[in-house]
Amino acid sequence: MGQFDLLSHVGRALQFVVQDNVQAGTDVRIAPPLEDSGGAGRAVRLTLLWTTPQPTHRNDPPERNPDGTRAQPPPTLSAFYLVTTYGTTTEGDAIEAHDLLGRIIRAFHAEQQLQLPVDGFGEGRISVVQLTVEPELVEKLYTPLGVRLRPWAVFEVAPVQLIRADAPGEPLPVVRPGGLELAPIEVLAPPRIERMTPSSIGVGGRIRIDAAYSGDPARVTVGTERIEPPEIAALEPGGPVRANLPPALTPAAYDLTLTAANNISSRPAGLTVIGVNLPSIFAPDTAEHSAAGDLVLDGASLGANGDPLAVFFWPDSGIGAPGEVVEAVGAVESGGAALRVTAAELAGLRPTVHRISVRTAPHLYTSYVLLGITP
């Protein structure tokens, strides 16, 4: 960006560059083209044809001065200069004129970016680019000028900013210590799913989502299916979320997201829905269960009524000793849709959150579920 106090200073900067690249004694002026193109003396004329505002700077905002006052933005222009050259031999050949134009074109082609100030004029940088000329432009240029054709070229000089000389505006409001305060502002974090149990579940089952979220859970989305209250609920305020899967979910792998009350969704977590013929247990409908009462686990395809199955309990916090893995016996009920573990089988469990898995066949276990055991 080149900044100038006056528009004439742009021509003065170009004049200095031209004088530095032509023969000494050449008459270089900022003026209209000469009426007589056949004069014997070497001459160059820099003619400002037109200026046009640069569209990208039409809506520049006011600038803030160091003292806090406001200054209106300066106009930013592209300036177009016609360069004509003169000089003939005694025989009338315009050799000097052609050579002068070639020197000028070569000078600006070699250094299209001019570092300001040039001869004390301007600040910053400007580009000087020769325009491509069509025959129509020749007629449009020379007809209004009313002069005969002579060696010439047109250069675009940009961007040119004309520094405003008007008085600055009123100072901007003083900012109080600590800056502006826009209240109330609340930074809302998306829910974060920490764990989902069980990770593989039968069609129409129930899952538990351990997550960090704000407010009440608004919905759980599995694939394209949206699950909303009362089919989802927090087992305790701010605690794990229980979600009943809709029967429309067929066996497949799905992306699952949790959306909180602020309508922000979590990153997706993976859930696998397995076929109805494969055994699985569902997440308990409560966060805790008293060891003084029988525990009934919902599930699918667990076997025939009365079949005994091995049920394994171990602390969710980790196993410190082999004895912390407790094997109990459960009896299948409801046609394979439930499993009952009596209070007597639960008596040996210490009060903590346990992982629970059922062995349905040799070396075949269901995905674990979580449940807090209390006295």
Residues of the chain with CATH 3.30.2000: 2-162
pLDDT of 130 > 90? The answer is: yes
**228 half-sphere exposure, CB direction, 13 A CA radius:** 5
- Biggest alpha carbon–alpha carbon distance for the chain: 127
- The identity of residue 46, as a single letter, is L
Instruction: Kindly tell me if the per-residue pLDDT of 181 is higher than 90.
Output: no
pLDDT at position 14 is 96
CA dihedral 282, 288, 290, 293 (to 10 degrees): -30
Say what the pLDDT of residue 61 is: 85
Give 289 or 178, the one with higher predicted confidence. Answer: 289
How much is the average pLDDT of 266-294? Answer: 94
pLDDT of 283 over the 80 cut: yes
Amino acid 166: pLDDT: 77
Q: Residues of the chain with pLDDT > 70: what percent?
A: 96
Inform me whether the pLDDT recorded for 79 exceeds 80: yes
CATH fold label, 187-276:
Immunoglobulin-like (2.60.40)
What's the whole-number mean pLDDT along residues 82-87?
A: 95
Would you state the pLDDT for residue 244? 96
Sole residue written with tokens 């997440």: 283
CATH 2.60.40.10 residue ranges for the chain: 187-276, 279-375
Q: Sorting pLDDT into bands at 50, 70 and 90, what band is 299?
A: very high
Q: At residue 90, does pLDDT exceed 90?
A: no
Whether 338 shows a pLDDT value over 70: the answer reads: yes
pLDDT of residue 148: 83
> What are residue 226's DSSP bridge partners?
221
Arch. (CATH architecture) of 279-375: Sandwich (2.60)
> Cis peptide leading into 184, omega within 30 of 0?
yes
**For the domain 2-162, what is the CATH code?**
3.30.2000
Residue, of 239 and 38, whose pLDDT is higher: 239
Burial classification of residue 319, based on how many CB atoms lie within 10 Å of its CB (0-12 exposed, 13-18 middle, 19 or more buried): exposed
Whether pLDDT at 176 is above 80? no
pTM as predicted:
0.52
End-to-end CA distance of the chain: 79
CA–CA dist 206, 196 (Å, integer): 11
Task: List the one residue out of 22, 27, 21, 30 whose CA is nearest residue 157.
Answer: 30
pLDDT surpassing 80 at residue 242: yes
At 180 the pLDDT is 65
| pLDDT exceeds cutoff 70 at 175 | no
Query: 246-265, pLDDT tens digit by residue?
Result: 998 999 999 999 999 888 99
